[in-house]
Amino acid sequence: MKSRIATAIVASFLAFGAGPAIAAGTSTTTELTPVEVRTQLASAEELIRKESYSEAIGVLNNIVETNPREADAYNLLGYSYRKSKDFSRAERNYKRALRLNPDHKGALEYVGELYLETDRRDKAEESLAKLEKICPNGCEELDDLREAMASGGQTSKANW
């Protein structure tokens, strides 16, 4: 009976995302499964939609701590830091996303917007040129960066 209860407790830890390291009582972290990553990314995106950037940063830092090759998480970290006006951390995370995936359309758009916000239009134009190569027939990220450039760096909330 005790072993079934212990098994149920461990299973509940695993089911709710605590992971085997916590269930076993150790301090090591384990890599999230692809499903767990997508679930946490969706959670972070919802927090971003609510403009709860510091909470999103916490979720995203958990992802990159356990999955350091997750370009989407670095991109969203960059976005959350940028919206929190922490431009140096934002840029660092966009660059990490682009090192992992040089054609990451979202990171190219958002780093271009960061460059506009920090008065580096020439760098924003480089991001725009990369997006034009990646999206020869157009894409949302290209349109959004063009719009931001035309409006002097102001981005619309509808773009999120």
Give pLDDT tens digits for 117-143. Answer: 999 999 999 999 999 999 999 999 999
The pTM of the full predicted model, rounded to 2 decimals, is: 0.78
Residue 13 lies in a domain: yes
Residue 3 lies in a domain: yes
Q: How many CA atoms lie within 13 A of 97 on its CB side?
A: 25
Residue 16 lies in a domain: yes
Residue 89 lies in a domain: no
Residue 155 lies in a domain: no
Alpha carbon 102 to its chain centroid, in Å, reads 15
> What value, to the nearest 5°, has the Cα angle with vertex 116 and ends 92 and 75?
35
* pLDDT of 15 above 80: no
Residue 4 lies in a domain: yes
Residue 11 lies in a domain: yes
Q: How many domains does the chain have?
A: 1
Alpha carbon 56 to its chain centroid, in Å, reads 9
Closest by CA to 105, choosing from 82, 137, 150, is: 137
CA separation for the pair 103, 78 (Å, rounded) = 16
Domain extent at residue 15: 1-30
